[in-house]
Amino acid sequence: MTHEIPLEPLLRRLTETPPEFLAEPKLGPVGDVHVAALVHDVLFGLNVSTDATYLATFGTDVGATRRNSQKLVMITAWVLSAPCFTALTLDDTSVRDLFVNVVSAMAAQGRADKYVYFPERREELVRSVLAQLGCLPEGESAAQAEDRLTRISGTERMRLISASRAAEARAKEVREALARKAAQESADKWTRE
């Protein structure tokens, strides 16, 4: 059975994300929030099984480059803590994949806090969560929900694909410039180190 969830309360919940869920994730010596513990608590509250291997995905030693993804995990954890979810019986795998695959993909698209502060991104996050959990926004058919999600994330996705291509082209240009003979023979400075 597909659950229908009202969209508005979840969107409002996102706008009211407490500062604790926007704090710095602990990565190495930096940050405060132990994201693995947070994920564990949320999954426990939803009666979703987990194990140490899965939780290690959100550990403090995953590297600084995962900072943005960890932040979005925290924000998503806040959304999933909404009472409307705790009353449901959710598919374990779908919930676990939400934190790993869906959140990672969205974090790669932009700064985590945009999913809190920008209306379209808020809607994208909430709709993505509902779609991953097999739920529908209240009053929408499956086709309508899918269409709406595609539209709001599609615009952003195209922009990001374009930006990603530009970034890769730029990186290639820099690498080629550094490899040029002209770049290599320019060692004209007083000292070598």
Partner 1 sequence: MTTAPTATPSDADRFPTLSAAGRNILDHMREHPNAPTFRNQSGNRLLAEDITRLKDYDQALGSPPKGSLGSTWIADLIAQCYEIVPFYRALGPAPDRLSDVPPISRADLAADIAAFVPDTVPTDRLINFQTTGTTGHRMLVPSHPEVAGRYLSFHKMALKRFGIVPTYGAGQVGVMLLGHQQPCFTYVSVTPTMGESGLVKLNLHPAEWRDEADRAAYIDAMQPEFIAGDPLSFDVLLDIDCQWKPRALLSVSMMLSDGLRHRLEDWFACPVLDLYSMNEVGPIGVFDERAGGHVLLQDKLWVETLGDDLTALPTGTRGEITVTGGFNFCLPLLRYRTGDYGVLCTNSGEPMIADLVGRAPVRFQSAAGQWHNNIDVSHALKNLPIAQYALHQNADGTLDFALSNRSGQLADKAILALHALLGDLPIQVQYITSDIKVLQYTSDLDL
- The residues that touch partner 1, with contacts defined as CB under 8 A, are 24, 27-31, 64-65, 67-68, 71, 111-113, 167, 170-193
Residue number, 56 or 174, with CB nearest to partner 1: 174
Residue number, 35 or 112, with CB nearest to partner 1: 112
Residue number, 53 or 191, with CB nearest to partner 1: 191
Q: Which residue has the tokens 């940050």?
A: 31
For residue 78, how many other CB atoms are within 10 A of its CB?
A: 19
Residue of 55, 52, 46 lying closest to 73 (CA atoms): 55
CB of 90 to partner 1, least distance (A): 28
CB of 110 to partner 1, least distance (A): 9
CB of 99 to partner 1, least distance (A): 17
As a whole number of Å, the CA-based R_g of the chain is 21
Instruction: Report the C-alpha gap between 177 and 173 in whole angstroms.
Output: 6
If DSSP codes are grouped into helix, strand and coil, which group holds residue 101? helix
- Give the chain's count of helices (H) and strands (E): 11, 2
Residue number, 74 or 145, with CB nearest to partner 1: 74
CB of 58 to partner 1, least distance (A): 16
Q: Residues 100, 57: contact at Cβ < 8 Å?
A: yes
CB of 66 to partner 1, least distance (A): 9
Structure tokens at 94: 């779908």
E strands, 124-191, in order: 136-137
Residue number, 53 or 184, with CB nearest to partner 1: 184
